[in-house]
Amino acid sequence: MLQGEALRFAQIFLIVCPSFILFGYNQSGVGGLTDFPSWIRQFPEIDTVNTTGAQKSHNSTVQGAVVASYTIGALFGSLICTWIGDILGRRRTIFIAACIALVGQVLECTAFSLAQFTVGRVILGGGVGMLSATVPVWQSECSPADKRGRNVVLTGMFIALGFASTQWINFGFFHMEDKSASWRASLAIPALFSFVIMGSIFFLPESPRWLVLKNRSDTAQQTLARLRAKEVVSPEVMHELRGIEISLEESSGHTMALKDIFTMGEEKLFYRFLLCVMLQFFQQMTGGTLISVYIPIIFEDNLHLGASLAKVLAACALTWKFICCFVGFYAVDRIGRRAAFMISGGGMAMCMLALAVSNSFSNNHVASIISALFIFIYNFFLPIGFLGANFVYPAEVAPVRLRVAMQSFSIANQWLWMFVVAMITPTAIANIGYQYYIVYAVIGAVIPPVVYLFYPETMNRSLEEVNQIFHDAPSIISAVKMSKQRPIERDVFAAIERKKMVEEIE
């Protein structure tokens, strides 16, 4: 039976990898199919290649709605996890999500009408939304503190791999004969990942924190021993288990309900909730979806490149993004979450400003080269903080009893803004051009000061210790200061016991 490092690798490559390749592949895939001749013939209602004027404007709006319907499904899928995540457990939720995604993929790649395609896209989005809300929580709760950041930040790497894969696959099928099999095959390929998830998840352990939540401490102890490659009765396993139990006991002094997310109290739940949702707002409204989904259109329409060259450049840009994810993987557990967010946000703001300036020159070859260059630079800065770390941070700052709920709301907020961007981008690019990038530049520039003032550091701390910092801090500003100043406590059980003793003496 797998345990320790081998088990963590199995979790990553059998569940996390296929889940987030599905995320990226399906988010980016349709944007690269819109100029396929067979696609245009099958769905003339969203043809923006052979239309002009008012008809093109209408079709671009419909096209945006069809592409964005995936994100609406994902929004509701992630919200559903708020209710079912703690009832079914992490593994069963992941299995159901993969099944739903598979149904959506079947409907998509067999569609002969735009209505069927859109329904399939919504259902597919629902399954991927459930995966995106549940898998990072499951992985965070199974990972040791010193490896949690790198383990979960891999989600962004796999999303980027999905983005890059779909662009290269679309480029390959674009040069096939003019048959509907070209785009149908492209949409069918990710179904393989759904099968991998469905066939693997029940061979891997359940979250030990969920098991304790369900009063199954014996099973949780065995699971922790397997995850840490220790004896079941080893001091390390016993202390970690006891830390989880005490954290749950403290939070169960008053029963937490979903509505408690919107209250402060000593747990500062609303503050923690705002940290989660604002992070996902920043992730989308700094241009992540704009670049990843519509990059072929940006190269072809804005920079006036040919269809083949635009697809090659788009595939290269997203492959470069995947490579740059290794920078984020290295940085997240070395420079910390706060520094990663600030560097990433400031860099993306600079790139969006440069895109706005360079795109303001029409039919200028040098400006087009500069625009393409800054798209590549943007894809360097994005993965440092906002293509992976934004998934791990909400799971770290949320208390265990509301972790799935907070993560679900957080990811739903990401999908909401992803929908907004996917919906308005075709029309915005067609109507206001370079001015569209200014919005993203301004929002990106806000990130460094907001993170510096309000986001506590969570690097190398156990989930229970992060919870204790929020509990002990007398104010929001104090939580940020304490996270930077308080020494890292490796023995959480001992730390909480000492705190209880002091309180009893006082």
The per-residue pLDDT for range 124-156, each reduced to its tens digit, is: 999 999 998 899 889 888 888 777 767 767 777
4-454: CATH architecture: Up-down Bundle (1.20)
| Whole-number pLDDT of residue 351 | 92
| Whole-number pLDDT of residue 258 | 67
Locate 127 and state its tokens.
């399954």
CA nearest to 324, candidates 360, 353, 354, 351 = 351
pLDDT at 504 over 50: no
| Whole-number pLDDT of residue 391 | 78
Confidence at 506, pLDDT banded by 50, 70, 90: very low
Task: Give me the amino acid identity at 53.
Answer: G
Distances (CA, A) of 151 to 10, 67, 252, 456: 12, 30, 29, 20
Confidence at 251, pLDDT banded by 50, 70, 90: low
pLDDT at 32 over 80: no
Mean pLDDT taken over the chain: 83
CA distance 115 to 23: 22
| Whole-number pLDDT of residue 261 | 79
CA distance 100 to 122: 10
CA distance 305 to 309: 6
CA distance 355 to 374: 7
298-349 pLDDT, tens digit each: 777 666 667 677 778 888 888 898 888 888 877 777 888 899 999 999 999 9
Considering only residues 71 and 263, tell me which one the structure prediction assigns the higher pLDDT.
71
Distances (CA, A) of 34 to 63, 293, 447: 9, 11, 33
CB of 262 closer than 8 Å to CB of 276: no
Confidence at 470, pLDDT banded by 50, 70, 90: confident
Residue extents of the structural domains in the chain: 4-454
Question: What does R_g of the chain's alpha carbons equal in angstroms?
Answer: 23
Locate 358 and state its tokens.
């360079």
pLDDT at 57 over 80: no
Sign of CA dihedral 489, 493, 498, 500: positive
Locate 412 and state its tokens.
């739903």
| Whole-number pLDDT of residue 415 | 84
| Whole-number pLDDT of residue 449 | 95
CA distance 476 to 470: 8
Distances (CA, A) of 235 to 19, 221, 319, 336: 34, 11, 45, 29
pLDDT at 31 over 70: no
pLDDT at 1 over 70: yes
CA distance 310 to 183: 18
Confidence at 218, pLDDT banded by 50, 70, 90: very high
Residue bearing tokens 């990553």: 12
CA distance 455 to 272: 9
pLDDT at 209 over 90: no
Instruction: Provide, rounded to the nearest whole percent, the portion of the chain with pLDDT above 90.
Output: 26
CB of 285 closer than 8 Å to CB of 417: yes
Q: Spell out the alpha helix ranges (H) of 386-475.
A: 389-397, 403-431, 435-454, 463-472
Structure pTM?
0.78
Beta strands in 402-463 (DSSP E): none
CA nearest to 248, candidates 271, 276, 214 = 214
| Whole-number pLDDT of residue 288 | 79
Beta strands in 412-505 (DSSP E): none
Q: Which helix (H) or strand (E) holds 152?
A: helix 145-174
CA nearest to 160, candidates 291, 36, 286, 333 = 291
